[in-house]
Structure 1
Amino acid sequence: MNNDLSRILPDTQDSVLPYCIWYPAVADWQTYVGLARRKPSMKQSVARACIVADYKTVYDELNAEPDSSLIAEARDSPNPHYLRDLERKAAERGGVVSDDSPEWKRNTRKHMFEPTTTSLYKDVSNLIADTEFG
C-alpha cells in the first residue's frame, strides 16, 4: 500500500484487489479509511491492517466481524485491545465467522519477514578489506 487509491474505484472488481495491504509498509490511517469507504468488501483486510498498524480508532469504527485471520493477527499484536474486542464479538455473535481462507492468508505479520543474521563487531577497523584503486 503506497497511500494511492487512484486505481481503486467503486466498480473495481474484488478479484483484482490485494488482500495484504500492510506489507511491506503500512499505509496512513486515512488511506485505510478511504479504502473501506470506496470498497466495503475490503473491510476485513482494512481491519487487519489497522491491527498491524495499531490504528485503534479506525479499527473500532470498522466494527469488523471476528474471523480466523483477524483473530490470528490480534493474538500477535502487542495491543490486547484487538483480541479482547474480537473475542467479545465472537461471544456475542455466536462464534467466529468462518472465512475459509487459505493458510497463507492466516500468516500474521510476524511471519511476513524473512529471518536475517546479523553479526555485530565492536571494532570494525581491522575488518576493512584491502581495495586496489587504479
Structure 2
Amino acid sequence: MANGLPNPLLTADAARSLVDSVDAFLFDCDGVIWKGDQLIEGVPETLDLLRKMGKKLVFVTNNSRKSRRQYAKKFRALGLEVTEEEIFTSSFAAAMFLKLNNFSPEKKVYVVGEDGILEELRLAGFECLGGPVR
C-alpha cells in the first residue's frame, strides 16, 4: 500500500509488458465485445490499438445461431471492421471438425440446431438436413 491507497492490480508497465509478450488476443463476443445489440464501451479503441501493434485478433463464440458471415455483419452494424477469417464460431468448428476428420461430403448431415450451423456446413461442402423448426 502506497500513500494509504491499495496497489493497482495491473500497473501501466505490467499491462504493456503483458501486451508485448503475446502475439494474439482471443475475445469472446457476448459480454466482452457487446451485450445484446450494444457495443461495450472502449472496445473500438482497444481493438484499434491492438491492430496498430500488429496483434492478431480472433473473436470466438459458442453461439451457433449465426455463421461467421452473419457475425461479420453484426460487427459491421456495431461499427467494427472484423473479417470472417477473424471469427471462430461453434458452427464453423463443427464444420471444420467433419472436414478435418475426412467425413465424406457425399454423406448427409442431420442438424439439430440453428441456421448458422447449416450455413457453415454447406460452405464446407456438406449436404444438410434438419435445422430450425419453422
Whether TM exceeds 0.5 here: the answer is no
Q: Greater share of helix residues, 1 or 2? A: 1
Q: Greater share of strand residues, 1 or 2? A: 2
